Amino acid sequence: MGDLSRSGKIMSDKARKEGRNGEAIICINPGGEEQWDRIVSAHVQPGCPCIMLNSAYSTSYDLGNKRGFEEAYYLKRISKGWVFRSFPGPWEAYLERPDGSVELLQQYRTKPALREVAALVRDESFKRYAINNDRWTPGFGERL
């Protein structure tokens, strides 16, 4: 991992030693969560917010991250729907209907497990639409 930039300039040794004076660290596409630890240890100081934007992939099969970062904005496609969060709001499970619209099914105060949300959305989709809610097959599920 090379130096991160600071307002378009490479961070100097002086800036590293003297601190960030309440500045925020924003890292775009930080890679896997193991990279997050390296970024935090190299560049974050107490009282310095650290924001990771648009991580390209997750290192776990679950929602969010396992490093203790708060998910401020989160959107994940799941089978038959979506999981969404906009801080400070709740986590939300959405059902995707056959016409492409969505409906809020449930809200969670704390981050739910992926399998819990996926099961809720999938089961509700099957109860309402049976096999006619397949977004991958063009024309499938349309009214005849």
Task: For the chain, 144 residues long, give each residue's pLDDT as a single digit of tens.
Answer: 444 444 444 566 666 666 656 677 888 878 777 888 888 887 777 777 888 876 666 667 788 887 788 888 888 899 899 999 998 999 999 999 988 899 999 999 999 999 999 999 999 999 988 876 665 555 555 544
Cβ contact 25:44 at 8 Å: yes
- pLDDT value of position 16: 62
Q: Judge if the upstream peptide bond of residue 88 is cis by omega within 30 degrees of 0.
A: yes
Using DSSP bridges, classify how beta strands 50-53 and 25-28 pair: parallel, antiparallel or unpaired: parallel
d(CA 119, CA 116): 5
CA distance 30 to 35: 7
**pTM for the predicted model, two decimal places:** 0.71
- CB-neighbour burial class of residue 125 (10 A; exposed 0-12, middle 13-18, buried 19+): buried
Tokens of 143: 């009214």
Query: What is the per-residue pLDDT for 123?
Result: 94
Residue 102 pLDDT: 94
Q: Which of 33, 18, 74 is nearest to 6 (CA)?
A: 18
